[in-house]
Homo-oligomer: A and B are copies of this chain.
Amino acid sequence: MSDALLTLTTDFGYGSPYVAAMKGVILGINPAARLVDLSHAIPPQDLRHAAYFLDNAIPYFPPGVLHVVVVDPGVGSERALLYVEVDGQRLLVPDNGCWTGLVRGGGPTVRRLTEPRYWRQPVSSTFHGRDILAPVAGHLSLGVPPDDLGPIVDSWVRLEAPAPVQTPDGVAGVVVFVDDFGNLITNIPAADLPHGAVRVVVGVQEVTRLVRTYAEAEPGRPVALVSSSGRLEIAVPQGNAARQLGVGVGTAVRVSR
């Protein structure tokens, strides 16, 4: 257990010492911990980005890995810090809802971190990642039982993903994520797409072509396809759809026959 796997996901960026400080604190408690960086490029305080990221990253990990997530606009306030067991995964995360998309079927077990004996002292009011989450992660990876961290709670912040809606001739949704290629991922599941020829409108622009792979498409022309997460995606092969179409998260997407 001491060589446990711990992942780190933050909005700290890559130039600041904050990620390094957390790594130091964890390794100071458990020098055998194996640290895996997921991302430190979540846009600052962007909980929806964090939620999409976690939804599409965490389920691929084997059970037992501990995921430490620090996107924390409420740091220093009364917002809780949580230890969560959900769908076989374990997370340490501020109570801001960025993890609730991971709930499938069975409900999660959620504890509020209340036991300062597992924290660094003094606890700063602006960096709970370093002073609370990192040391708790270190102790958990050494085998401290979750019960010791604090009591089970039965309410927490939920971040609802916007749901697509059926329309008379198809389905309407929004762009929920823009990846580093500029691909626009929507909230419309592949199963909701009308069969046969479809018409996709993103913002005010029509994308006529529905393809199966980027490689089928003409470079530079927007196409619609099913993303690797099983949602409708708009992409510009060998280009950047977000930039070319001038759209982003929140842009309306309509699909019709």
Q: Are A228 and B15 CB-contacts (below 8 A) given A37-B37, A76-B214? A: no
Interface digits, A49-84 against B, CB 8 Å rule (1 contact, 0 not)? 100111111111110110000000111110100000
CB of B238 within 8 A of CB of A73, answer: yes
User: A127 contacts the other chain (Cβ, under 8 Å)?
Assistant: yes
Q: Are A15 and B49 CB-contacts (below 8 A) given A21-B56, A226-B125? A: yes
Q: List 27 A-B contacts (CB under 8 A).
A: A5-B27, A12-B179, A12-B180, A15-B42, A15-B49, A16-B39, A16-B180, A16-B181, A20-B57, A21-B57, A23-B38, A27-B65, A28-B62, A35-B36, A44-B238, A73-B215, A73-B238, A75-B215, A77-B215, A77-B216, A125-B212, A125-B213, A125-B226, A126-B214, A126-B225, A126-B227, A126-B228
Residue of B nearest to A58 (CB): B24
CB distance from A107 to the nearest CB of B (A): 23
Question: Which one, B9, B74, B181, B228, contacts A13 given CB within 8 A?
Answer: B181
Q: Which residues of A contact B (CB under 8 A)?
A: 5, 7, 9, 11-25, 27-28, 31, 34-45, 49, 52-62, 64-65, 73-77, 79, 124-127, 130-131, 179-181, 212-216, 225-228, 233, 237-238, 240
Cβ contacts under 8 Å, A15 to chain B: 39, 41-43, 49, 53, 179-180
Question: Which one, B20, B54, B74, B228, contacts A127 given CB within 8 A?
Answer: B228
Cβ contacts under 8 Å, A53 to chain B: 15-17, 20
Tallying the copies of this chain within the complex gives 3
Question: Which one, B23, B62, B179, contacts A36 given CB within 8 A?
Answer: B23
Cβ contacts under 8 Å, A125 to chain B: 212-213, 225-226
List 8 tightest A-B contacts by C-beta distance, closest first: A76-B213, A13-B180, A24-B60, A127-B228, A77-B215, A20-B57, A24-B61, A14-B41
